[in-house]
Amino acid sequence: MEGALSEADRVFAGSIPALYDRYLGPMLFAAYAEDLARRPAALMPAHVLETAAGTGVVTRALARTLPPDVEITATDLNQAMVDFAAAQPGAERVVWRQADAQALPFADGSFDAMLCQFGVMFFPDRATACREVKRVLKPGGRYLFSVWDRIEENEFAQIVTDAVAALFPDNPPRFLPRTPYGYYDTTPIDNELRAAGFTNVTIETVTRRSRAPSPRDAAVGLCQGTPLRSEIEARGADQLEAATTAAAAALAARFGSGAIHGKIRAHIVTASV
């Protein structure tokens, strides 16, 4: 696995939330959002929590899927993400709060189910986050989350990483393999959940297709709609466009110049209190 999580890896601010939602939402997250949102429905929950909700891709799916009497609370560490998500159509029934998943501002046993789509990888202390989840879930509650498999199983991300690294061979940006694609080993995931007191841990590996209208769209999403942007700009204020162009060219060389699609693979994790 890659090195330790950087504090900058957790910062989604400025123009990143809008670009994240516009490009990465449909390209990466929508393929798994509806599936993850449907899973709590069978539990007939009264109150559901989502952490690391980002721009609300899963949150809006929850709002569409769960009965209207189910309370939905969504949090994210970044206030900019919370503000953006709360302003989107389809999120009106959701209670939004800025919160750190490692120190949740909720009483013990407050929720029947908790979800986190592609956010656990960003927690610096995942053991603490696991204990917080267990604390705020009711007895019998369910924790559902997803993490990306290794970057080699996610074609767009791997190609963009390689293309950007080639521009900076002495100091390649490694945000993507380090953080979003850095928590893929299922054995530590299972161990951390069980150490926190969870039972009935199941991990399902799901392969889908990632789609983008063009190579440029995919490159903009990954280079400019994530903290990879900050890593690129740290290597030169004028390097963001060059990196985005290089990434788009590499994607076009692999998939063609029109609408593109590539393999994505993730682990869907379920655990019980």
CATH number, domain of 173, equals 3.40.50.150
Distances (CA, A) of 114 to 24, 59, 142, 219, 228: 23, 11, 6, 32, 28
- pLDDT at 134 (0 to 100): 97
- pLDDT at 222 (0 to 100): 96
Task: Report the alpha-carbon distance of residue 268 to residue 162 in Å, rounded.
Answer: 26
The domain of 140 spans 7-272
- pLDDT at 11 (0 to 100): 54
2 belongs to a structural domain:
no
- pLDDT at 21 (0 to 100): 86
1 belongs to a structural domain:
no
DSSP string, 57-82: HHHHHHHHHS-TTSEEEEEES-HHHH
- pLDDT at 31 (0 to 100): 87
Query: Would you call 103 helix, strand, or coil by DSSP?
Result: coil
143 belongs to a structural domain:
yes
> For the segment 3-43, what is each residue's pLDDT rounded down to a tens digit?
555 555 555 656 677 888 888 988 999 989 999 999 998 88
Beta-bridge partners for 212: 260
- pLDDT at 16 (0 to 100): 76
92 belongs to a structural domain:
yes
267 belongs to a structural domain:
yes
200 belongs to a structural domain:
yes
Compute φ and ψ for 99, nearest 5 degrees: -160, 150
- pLDDT at 181 (0 to 100): 97
Q: Contact 137/259 with Cβ under 8 angstroms?
A: no
- pLDDT at 91 (0 to 100): 87
Residues of the chain with pLDDT under 70: 1-15
- pLDDT at 17 (0 to 100): 78
Domain total in the chain? 1
- pLDDT at 5 (0 to 100): 54
- pLDDT at 70 (0 to 100): 96
- pLDDT at 7 (0 to 100): 57
